Chain A
Amino acid sequence: MVEPRICVGVVAGAHGVRGLVRVKSFTEEPRDVAAYGTLFDKAGNRQFNLQVTGSAKGVLLAKLDGVATREAAEALRGVEFYVSRDALPQTEEDEFYHSDLIGLRAELADGKPYGTIRALHEFGAGDMIEILLEGGGVSVLPFTRVIVPTVDIAAGKVIVEPPVETDAREDRKDEEIS
């Protein structure tokens, strides 16, 4: 079985003439791109040791072992950096990596398929999961114990209990009719 790997950054280009690369980091804390040990390319053939030296205009400036010239750095443009899933630290209870949850099947409590998790969001009002529904369309649910009582990553599924939704305007419509 192929070991799961996670993309943590990509080379955006070269910086200066001494082989520094500009790295776009995808990690929550940008400098953590170098915190998970050896990085690999997408195919897993090449290894990189990354040292972050600074930041500029939304990207990190970094030094890679064996890259000493601008030409060598420029040649790496577009290379994505991957780490092994096992390199990520353990999560606390009720805390999950997005990468573990995305793609899991969502089922109702009675076992009926509900959809597939497409993304997780946090807009300032708690975490929420976006589910691509079986019959088409999208549902966004709060990521709470009440609505998502079971998360079984090993079995590749979550159990959801979608809440009842009421329209705030339905009472107003009744008033207008009467």
Chain B
Amino acid sequence: MARSVWKGPFVDGYLLKKAETVRSSGRNDIIRTWSRRSTVLPQFVGLTFGVYNGQKFIPVLVTENMIGHKFGEFSPTRTFYGHAADKRARRG
């Protein structure tokens, strides 16, 4: 069953507070978090979070189209190292 709308999106309070601190400092620090359950909020856009996947912190640069998803969705806990073949990476 989906979460009740009246509750609003869930986010760990300390994460919200930390995001505000980093944003006001103007630096591009990576915010390391274990809170995979927290929802991506509009005030996180442009910040980079390191989301723990059980082994390491996966950098997640928050963009507008990620709002409403959970942080854990962008930090898979099972990594498959496939063949590189013709795959390309774009430097952002």
Contacts and interface: CB of A to CB of B under 8 A. Distances in A.
A91 B87 CA distance: 11
Interface string A7-28: 1110000000000000000111
Contact of B91 (A94, A124, A138): A94
Contact of A97 (B17, B81, B87): B87
Contacts of A146: 28
Contacts of B57: 140, 165
A138 B56 contact: yes
Q: Which 8 A-B pairs have the closest CB atoms?
A: A26-B83, A98-B84, A26-B85, A99-B84, A125-B60, A168-B33, A172-B14, A125-B74
Interface residues of A, number: 50
B7 interface: no
Contacts of A9: 85
Contact of B58 (A102, A123, A151): A123
Interface of B: 12, 14-15, 17-18, 21-22, 27-35, 48-50, 55-63, 66, 73-76, 79, 81-92
B84 A102 contact: yes
Contacts of B55: 138
A119 interface: yes
- Interface hub of B33, B34, B81, B84 (most chain A Cβ within 10 A): B84
Interface of A: 6-9, 26-28, 32, 36, 88, 91, 94-99, 101-102, 119-129, 138-146, 148, 151, 163-169, 171-172
B30 A95 contact: no
24 contacts: A8-B85, A28-B86, A91-B88, A94-B91, A97-B86, A97-B88, A99-B84, A123-B74, A125-B74, A139-B56, A142-B61, A143-B91, A164-B30, A165-B29, A165-B50, A166-B31, A168-B14, A168-B32, A168-B33, A169-B33, A169-B34, A171-B14, A171-B17, A172-B14
B75 A123 contact: yes
A124 B66 CA distance: 9
Contacts of B66: 124-125
A91 B30 CA distance: 29
Nearest to A33: B85
A121 to B, nearest CB: 7
Nearest to B71: A125
B82 to A, nearest CB: 7
Contacts of A122: 89
